[in-house]
Amino acid sequence: MRVTIEMIAREAEVSAPTVSRALNNDRLVHPATRARVLAIATKIGYQRSGRRKKDRSDAKAPSITFLISHLSHYPINHGLLSLIHGITAEADATTCQLFIEHLNESSRGKLHLRTHRPRSLLPDTTDIVVIQGKHDPHDVDTLARLRPVVSLQWEYAGTQVDLVESFNARGIADIVRMLVDKGHRRLCWIQDRYAASFFHDRLAGFYRGCIETGLKTDGMPVVPISELLASDTTFLNILGALRKDGVTVLVCANDGLAHEIATMCQKHGVRIPQDISLTGYDADPQLTPEGLELCSYHPNFVDLGRAALRVCLQRLSESASKPIIQSMEGHIREGQTVATLPAPETS
């Protein structure tokens, strides 16, 4: 089925003329609106007519492809929209040409074949690629042989890739310090279902925060989310055992895990934060089933998107330099899912 501008407009809840202007990179359309339109258009497979080459009138302007991994399998979330918002806004400020592409699951691991490459990676179209999400390492290696590559959050060992990331370890360490200030002394780390460099950094930040606040890390529980949510009975048994062991807060590797736990807590009458406190990472605006704003670390995705484009320009001007790593500051969003515990009684 052919995707039309009207279909995108309905999904994005804007007018068809607004979609048309956004797709044509009209800078009078707010970057946040353009980000949503571009993300939806990319997700549902909108194909623009004509060639995707640099405009001759602006041949000196760098062109950048923002390549999203497997968007069709996941909802368009706040983080992705904010990244596109940031990179779009920075492209406006620097007169760069920006292409948004989605890598289909069928092309995973096949970018060495020209027929599986996004159109913007054809000759004379783009100068540099920004990748978002989890990509096949072989694909990243192929991309790096074709163009310079800047990765958002994900590290790819053994491949010349620049990196723009949030301060993952520092962010979680800051959360731990905040929890200790609120009286929590026994914390549990909730690990995601898959490995990623930033999850390793966040776990390191968890231990770092414990050490810096005087908490003993020996025996500090680490529970994989797949184990915790294996079944209703398992959830209640593990949570009961953690609470009996003195755990008062679950520190989750990201907001998605925290929301899964909050849903299970509501199902079984476990109150947040009265019975157990909960934190995440990514500052997703979604509320818990009880209508609470999640305590989380806000990595400032808009700034990450802006930084990615600035690193692109730096790489294009310094093609022979060592890998560039740009880490961006964030801040804690305290939310409503962490209780303040009473100070321990002194004899």
CB 246 within 8 A of CB 185: yes
**Phi-psi group of 109: left, alpha or beta (phi > 0 → left; psi -120 to 50 → alpha; rest → beta):** left
- The confidence score (pLDDT) of residue 1 equals 67
Are the C-beta atoms of 158 and 144 separated by less than 8 Å? no
Segment holding 35, helix H or strand E: helix 31-44
Take residue 118 and report the two structure tokens written for it.
């996004």
pLDDT averaged over 10-residue windows placed end to end, the chain, 347 residues? 85 89 83 87 70 50 88 75 92 88 86 86 84 92 93 91 95 97 97 91 96 91 97 97 97 97 97 97 94 96 95 92 92 96 69
pLDDT of res. 345: 62
pLDDT digits (tens, 9 = 90+) for 73-103: 667 788 889 999 999 999 988 888 888 888 8
Q: Specify the pLDDT at position 29.
A: 87
Give the single-character DSSP code of 115.
Answer: G
d(CA 341, CA 182): 6
pLDDT at 72: 59
User: What CA–CA distance (Å, rounded) separates 202 from 172?
Assistant: 6
Per-residue pLDDT, 51: 36
Letter string b/e over residues 4-26, b meaning 16 or more CB atoms within 10 A of that residue's CB: ebebbbebbebeeebbebbbeee
- Cis omega (within 30 of 0) on the bond before 273? yes
DSSP code at position 295 = B
- pTM for the complete prediction? 0.87
Segment (H or E) for 265: helix 255-267
